[in-house]
Amino acid sequence: MPALHPAIDEAPAPRLALVGSLGGPTSLLVALLVGSLAGFAAFAHGVVGGGWLVDLDVDVARWVVHSMPTSVEWLARPFTWVGGYVGTTIVVIPAMIWLVRRRQGGVALLLAVVAVGTQALVVSAKHGYARQRPDVGSAIPLPSSFSFPSGHAANGIAVFGLLGLIAATYGGSTHTRRAAISAGFLVGALVGWSRVVLNVHYVSDVLAGACLGLAWLCVCLLVARLLAR
């Protein structure tokens, strides 16, 4: 009896589409995990201890207020929106539906865990450090939450980085796969950059958030790899 949907039934699984194969060599993921955790610890120590890092944060925030062109602020607004709760949800849910329809439910679940877990980690860290946001003026209203680490930066690297890795599994050439991964992490970096440009986060908030997001992404990929085996 012929298949009801031959185009779907006979389509080969995309290269590296299995959830346990995302992210490259295990040694690379472990190295990134260790490095990102060390980076987060360094930024957290600098923020708590004060000194040159805090002074640099304040200097950059003041420069943004007095010297940042308005056109750059408007360029940053779309990235800060897409990196927030609403924007990320609008991106993640259709991606999960698409993955499930492609019979990649494990990857869809991984995406959900990365997105939700990132937010949980950031909320916990914010309350732990309780750093106030820049008070020298911002282009948009300041959120009521604490400043360190940046949830947008963590979300950008973890979620959009993973989306880039997923997109790369459907690339037909090495160049295409590298471009997909680069695009995902570039969007994540721009999300973090937008928070400094709009002066709702200090530079160290964003860098620490990016480290936290990368660490969580690596943890999820490593656990998924173990479960897949």
Q: What are 142-159's pLDDT values in tens digits?
A: 888 899 999 999 999 999
**What is the arithmetic mean of pLDDT over 55-62?**
92
**What is the arithmetic mean of pLDDT over 190-215?**
95
Q: What is the pLDDT of residue 4?
A: 39
**Would you call the peptide bond into 14 cis, given omega within 30 degrees of 0 as the criterion?**
no
Task: Answer yes or no: is pLDDT of 23 > 80.
Answer: no
Task: Answer yes or no: is pLDDT of 70 > 80.
Answer: yes
Residue 15 lies in a domain: no
Residue 10 lies in a domain: no
- Residue 14 phi/psi, 5-degree rounding, is -65, 150
Compute the distance between CA of residue 117 and CA of residue 73 in angstroms, rounded to an integer: 29
Catalytic residue annotation: 152, 201
CA 139 to chain centre: 23
Of the candidates 202, 71, 216, the one whose C-alpha atom is nearest the C-alpha of residue 156 is: 216
Q: Give the predicted TM-score (pTM) of the model.
A: 0.86
Q: Is 11 left (phi over 0), alpha (psi -120 to 50) or beta?
A: beta
Residue 68 lies in a domain: yes
* Domains identified in the chain, total number: 1
Residue 137 lies in a domain: yes
- Residue 195's domain spans which residues? 21-228
Residue 7 lies in a domain: no
- For the chain, the average pLDDT equals 86
Q: What is the pLDDT of residues 28-39, one digit of tens each?
A: 899 999 999 999
pLDDT-derived band at 7 (thresholds 50, 70, 90) equals: very low
Please give the radius of gyration of the chain, using alpha carbons only, rounded to the nearest integer: 19
Task: Answer yes or no: is pLDDT of 172 > 80.
Answer: no
